[in-house]
Structure 1
Amino acid sequence: MKISQFVQVRNTTVHYRESNHYKKGEVVSAYGFLTPALVLATLFIVLPIIFAFTYGFTDYYLLKPNDKHFTGLENFKRMLTDEVLMQSFLNTIKFVVLVVPLQLSMALGLALIVNKRIKGVGFFRTAYFSPAVLSLVVISILWTVMLNPTSGLINEALANIGISKQPFLSSASQAMYTIVVISAWSGSGYQMMIFLAGLKNIDNQIYEAADIDGANVLQKFLYITIPSLKPITMFLVITTTIQAFKLIVQPMVMTGGGPDYSTITILQYIYEYGFRHRNVGYASAVTIMFTLFLIIVSIVIKKLFREEEAA
């Protein structure tokens, strides 16, 4: 072997060894960074799921943790005759059906507004997004005060323009709709920013070509903007739907689930039975069924979007 070839082989071997050394170091560093997140995910996500599936088939009572017995499907059979559970489930479905289209419509509308190149648009972006960074508890308390049926700011404003004061949160027929509007307002800022990012990625030359072809504003919105935002819309529909099903803070703070169980949600029901009534076994069984329901909903939404894209 020539000296030049030997040096080349030797350098390649050294480089390979150093490369392997660096790769091993990178792997160790990667696992080091991942470990805290994995530990937290195990403690607060994986283990609770395992415990829920375990306790759901028992009569576990929180004050008697060592006195639990396997009950099979008794907890699941009990759900079929639980009227309050059925009411909470229907309330949750009603909230999701109303809030998801309303919130996404508001978000898209705001995104279209702040996407314009006008002076001071940065201020409006911040103003529209600001409710998304506020605590839901703070927002709920603020709106509870503003919607007070006797001295609230909203009712005072209505009285000044000749409209009678409304009960809002103290009315079984108005409470859920009020919570829907407040929730859509508080969450639309986050979806607005995602829609705005999608609008920025649409090539402006497409709109210019549409202008040359004589397309009006509505036609450009229907045939350019909406199709271009389909992937983002699918993502937002799925995430917003799941978040809507997890409604608990607003009704707990604003109405306590009332009046007459008109605003109690499935998560609030689980909390009530699990922590206030201390019936962890039954609450875990409800949690299992609710989790399976959410998985099915997510799969159905994805399938519907995929079929629409294929068509």
Structure 2
Amino acid sequence: MNTVEPAHTAAPGAEHASSGPSVKLPRAGRKNRDWLHGLLMSAPAVGGLIAFVGIPFGYAVVLSFYNVRLGSPLEPSFFGLEHYRRLFTDPDQSGPFLRALLNNLTFAAVVVPLQTGIALGLAILLNRKLKAIGLFRSLFFMPVVFPMALVAVIWRLILARSEQGMLNSLLDTVSFGNWGAFDWLGDGATAMASIIVLSVWQGVGFQMVILLAGLQQIPGELYEAADLDRASRLQQFRHVTLPGIRGTLVFVALLTSVMSFRVFDQVYILIRGGGLAEDAARTVMYQAVTTAFDQNNVGQASAITVVFFLIVLVLTIVQRRLVRPDNED
């Protein structure tokens, strides 16, 4: 009787023997791959910065060493450090520049804490589950969408000197005709305050949206635990809300600082068309533009921008060190 030989069965795991163990990249290889991916993803932004910031700034540094006049048939001549010397020693150049720098510092010192505080208050107010809350968020954000030229024109009508100005008309009505007309833009005591109010109104919605996103990332369990501990609203704000959005607050403060130093549009429009007091409201960017295009002195304007860039860079680094989040090295 014939018997059938049993088929040889493979040893357990033999079917996987040919595939071999999974290959893992060494740690250095993974880091190099991640670095390459990060470089490729950031390439468009880095390219834009180089093309629209780095190259123009490098060209401005070069022009600051030359005597360049717009519309002049003469070739640019090498000036060395003369533009920088005049910027700090020549009264005709140093006076307006230092006054513009002081106005910039005053503007930033007021706008950064004021706008950040208002944005935080609005974000907390709008971080609620209410009907039509999206409508209220849109209304507060709407001024950000408006071009600064349009905002300046609107506030020129509000702050107009005549009795037809909206603010003067309101105050005259409230005071039963005893107010009269006041030149909010032309008076040196209120010119910078007018620019500050205008700028805060236009930009606070942008910071509000960023802070609102930060508030929504705080776990609700933290507030529930605070309620169980019978913490008051103020205690919850100090010990839960502020630590939860510390990094976001730092980012907003830095962003607002940079934007406050580059203020130009509203100042230029209101000085040229709204009767804004020039000496009381001129900024460094305004000084640079008028030097380049009104005085036809491109070299001096380039020196102003280079010095101002270095000042803003130093102030930004100092501010970054002072308000660094706890989770950063």
- Length-normalised TM-score, structure 2: 0.81
Displacement of 1:63 after TM fit? 2.1
Q: What CA distance in whole angstroms lies between the structure 2 residues aligned with 1:34 and 1:113?
A: 36
Displacement of 1:44 after TM fit? 2.8
Aligned 1:233-272 pairs, distance under 5 A: 233-256=249-272, 258-272=276-290
Decide whether the 8 Å contact of 1:62 with 1:279 is kept in 2.
Answer: yes
Displacement of 1:223 after TM fit? 1.5
Match of 2:241 among 225, 246, 250: 225
Decide whether the 8 Å contact of 2:271 with 2:278 is kept in 1.
Answer: no
Higher helix fraction (1 or 2): 1
Q: What CA distance in whole angstroms lies between the structure 2 residues aligned with 1:306 and 1:298?
A: 12
Is 2:118 aligned against 1:100? no
Is 2:151 aligned against 1:159? no
Q: What CA distance in whole angstroms lies between the structure 1 residues aligned with 2:151 and 2:63?
A: 35
Aligned 1:55-94 pairs, distance under 5 A: 55-64=63-72, 67-81=75-89, 82-94=94-106
Is 2:66 aligned against 1:53? no
Give the fraction of aligned pairs with identical amino acids, expressed as a percent: 31
Q: What CA distance in whole angstroms lies between the structure 2 residues aligned with 1:63 and 1:39?
A: 32
| Secondary structure in structure 2 of the residue aligned to 1:297 | helix
Could you report, residue by residue, the CA deviation over 1:172-194 in whole angstroms, capped at 9, with x for unpaired residues?
Answer: 11010011011011100000000
Match of 2:310 among 292, 297, 302: 292
Q: What CA distance in whole angstroms lies between the structure 1 residues aligned with 2:277 and 2:307?
A: 26
Displacement of 1:64 after TM fit? 3.2
Alignment match, 1:203: 219
Decide whether the 8 Å contact of 1:58 with 1:72 is kept in 2.
Answer: yes
Once superposed, what is the RMSD of the aligned Cα atoms?
2.9
Q: What CA distance in whole angstroms lies between the structure 1 residues aligned with 2:72 and 2:45?
A: 32
Quick check: which has more Rg, 1 or 2? Answer: 2
Is 2:322 aligned against 1:304? yes
| Secondary structure in structure 2 of the residue aligned to 1:169 | coil
Could you report, residue by residue, the CA deviation over 1:229-275 in whole angstroms, capped at 9, with x for unpaired residues?
Answer: 11011111111101000000111112349425100000000000112
Alignment match, 1:281: 299
- Aligned length in residues: 293
| Amino acid in structure 2 at the alignment position of 1:206 | L
Displacement of 1:288 after TM fit? 0.7
| Secondary structure in structure 2 of the residue aligned to 1:278 | coil
Displacement of 1:201 after TM fit? 0.5
Gaps of 5+ in 1: 13-26
Decide whether the 8 Å contact of 2:159 with 2:165 is kept in 1.
Answer: yes
Q: What CA distance in whole angstroms lies between the structure 2 residues aligned with 1:295 and 1:180?
A: 22
Displacement of 1:80 after TM fit? 1.2
Q: What CA distance in whole angstroms lies between the structure 2 residues aligned with 1:66 and 1:45?
A: 28
Alignment match, 1:131: 143
Displacement of 1:46 after TM fit? 2.6
Could you report, residue by residue, the CA deviation over 1:202-242 in whole angstroms, capped at 9, with x for unpaired residues?
Answer: 11111111111111111111111111111011111111101
Greater displacement, 236-245 / 66-75: 66-75
Alignment match, 1:21: none
Decide whether the 8 Å contact of 1:258 with 1:264 is kept in 2.
Answer: no
| Amino acid in structure 2 at the alignment position of 1:129 | F
Decide whether the 8 Å contact of 2:140 with 2:205 is kept in 1.
Answer: yes
Greater displacement, 301-310 / 149-158: 301-310
